[in-house]
Chains A and B, each alone.
Chain A
């Protein structure tokens, strides 16, 4: 699994790092930084939860087999 953050959308809700601190961290302003773009299997579930909890839908998850996007914003 891979994760990507659109930093032009992130405004620092900080929900991602609460669920998956091993995958998402923060810059000085509290905006999301990706700690590991390649997510090890043991952190995949947390990474999904962190992305799902983002009110801005700033994080996209790429599953290994099927490419799947969490981005539903219009």
Chain B
């Protein structure tokens, strides 16, 4: 322990203190046993190693569920975690009931019904990407598919030019995982990047005001909430959040899922033999892998959780991945069952801040796994190589795959 926690009774600190670094790469690679160990020791824990400040960690499904359902106690306002933005991310960093007015105009854009209608377009895109590498007998999956597939969908929806993808990825990565281990330096880098993001969207917004189209950005500048248009700062808040949500999480889920399937051929064959189970396999991959391992909140009042007292103003990390592998909530939680029913996981969070893009993500993931396994039924991690996980969100940044069943790789 490097410094004393700023809050919390010291007598409980020892009993509930856990050694755990959210930014550790070994944890990112195999988080499930870590959750199990920590959860059985402390359903609710304290820790000060990850962000340099005292925080509460919620590991049990009960505690996670409670936090998600009580935004009036567990606030996700800007103070909950610094991402460099000067406008609150909308709707995430606005607490209910005010948040509801934004969800009312954003939810309909991403409804289950609307997203299912996009699936044929997603299938065309997936096949174009597969065409580009299938004959080589191998690919680096992240750059060949996991990044371009959801990011192309996102840019098309937003109405942003595809050639600006690299720039947008650089901006997104600069916020989610700034290239430094020093917290002060990370703050400085995020602030700087946030200004670039603001300047980028300012230009894009101006363009849409002059020449509106059918895209989401045009919708944001013309949409009305209670008879009034969104302010410029509100539009920026939405764009910033969409940049983070739209360009990282499905990439991460595809990478985690394909790594799992490459390493578990008997499970992969179930998808190949019976593509009907793919939607429920997607749910199980989301539960087991939970690429967004945890989300941050700040306490608006004192609270006691699983016997641990916490004070107003304390930071909380709600460990979604641990809740999703909690044996008290999921029978045989440590087994991956592609036909698990029911599967009420929290991979998309829960409560009023439930991931706005969950139905988009599900449609993208189902189509991607279906088309990949239809065309490439056998593959594995390239011999002698290891998948490499990023920190923060579990993106598999390097995933070399070879196709075919033969021991020499491609067949």
Contact yes or no, B113 A53, CB < 8 A: no
Contact yes or no, B344 A54, CB < 8 A: yes
- Which residues of A sit under 8 angstroms from B108, Cβ to Cβ? 28-30
A55-B345 contact, Cβ under 8 Å, with A29-B108, A30-B107, A30-B359 = yes
Chain B residues 277-304 with CB under 8 Å of chain A are: 279
B72-116, CB under 8 A of A: which get 1 and which 0?
A: 000000000000000000000000000000011001101111000
- Which residues of A sit under 8 angstroms from B113, Cβ to Cβ? 26, 30
- Which residues of B sit under 8 angstroms from A49, Cβ to Cβ? 341-342
Contact yes or no, B343 A53, CB < 8 A: yes
Majority secondary structure, B binding face: helix
- Which residues of B sit under 8 angstroms from A30, Cβ to Cβ? 107-108, 110-113, 359
- Which residues of B sit under 8 angstroms from A56, Cβ to Cβ? 69, 350-351
- Which residues of B sit under 8 angstroms from A29, Cβ to Cβ? 103-104, 107-108, 111
- Which residues of A sit under 8 angstroms from B66, Cβ to Cβ? 74
Chain B residues 346-370 with CB under 8 Å of chain A are: 346, 348, 350-352, 354, 358-359
When C-beta atoms are compared, the residue in chain B nearest to A9 turns out to be B69
Considering only CB atoms and an 8 Å cut-off, how many residues of chain A contact the other chain? Answer: 22
Distance of A13 Cα from B350 Cα, bound (Å): 8
- Which residues of A sit under 8 angstroms from B110, Cβ to Cβ? 30
Kindly state whether residue A73 has any CB partner on chain B within 8 Å. Answer: yes
Kindly state whether residue B65 has any CB partner on chain A within 8 Å. Answer: yes
A52-B112 contact, Cβ under 8 Å, with A12-B354, A29-B103 = no
Number of A-B contacts (CB under 8 A): 61
**Nearest-CB distance from A35 to chain B (Å)?**
14
Contact yes or no, A53 B344, CB < 8 A: yes
A15-B344 contact, Cβ under 8 Å, with A29-B111, A30-B359, A73-B69 = yes
Contact of A11 among B342, B343, B354 (CB under 8 A): B354
**Nearest-CB distance from B293 to chain A (Å)?**
17
- Which residues of B sit under 8 angstroms from A9, Cβ to Cβ? 69
Contact yes or no, B112 A18, CB < 8 A: yes
Majority secondary structure, A binding face: loop
Contact yes or no, B111 A73, CB < 8 A: no
**Nearest-CB distance from A47 to chain B (Å)?**
12
Contact yes or no, B112 A11, CB < 8 A: no
A11-B351 contact, Cβ under 8 Å, with A18-B112, A29-B103 = yes
Chain A residues 46-72 with CB under 8 Å of chain B are: 49, 52-57
Contact yes or no, B111 A53, CB < 8 A: no
Contact yes or no, B111 A26, CB < 8 A: yes
When C-beta atoms are compared, the residue in chain A nearest to B113 turns out to be A26
A52-B341 contact, Cβ under 8 Å, with A26-B113, A29-B111, A73-B69 = yes
- Which residues of B sit under 8 angstroms from A57, Cβ to Cβ? 344
- Which residues of B sit under 8 angstroms from A11, Cβ to Cβ? 350-352, 354
Contact yes or no, A13 B342, CB < 8 A: no
When C-beta atoms are compared, the residue in chain B nearest to A30 turns out to be B111
5 residue pairs A–B, Cβ–Cβ below 8 Å: A11-B352, A13-B358, A15-B344, A30-B107, A55-B350
For the complex of A and B, list the 7 residue pairs with the smallest distance between their C-beta atoms, beginning with the closest: A52-B342, A29-B107, A14-B112, A30-B111, A53-B342, A55-B344, A11-B354
Given contacts A11-B350, A14-B111, 16 further A-B contacts (CB under 8 A): A12-B111, A13-B350, A14-B112, A26-B113, A29-B108, A30-B113, A49-B342, A52-B341, A52-B342, A53-B343, A55-B345, A55-B346, A55-B350, A56-B69, A74-B62, A74-B66
Q: Which residues of A contact B (CB under 8 A)?
A: 9, 11-15, 17-18, 26, 28-31, 49, 52-57, 73-74
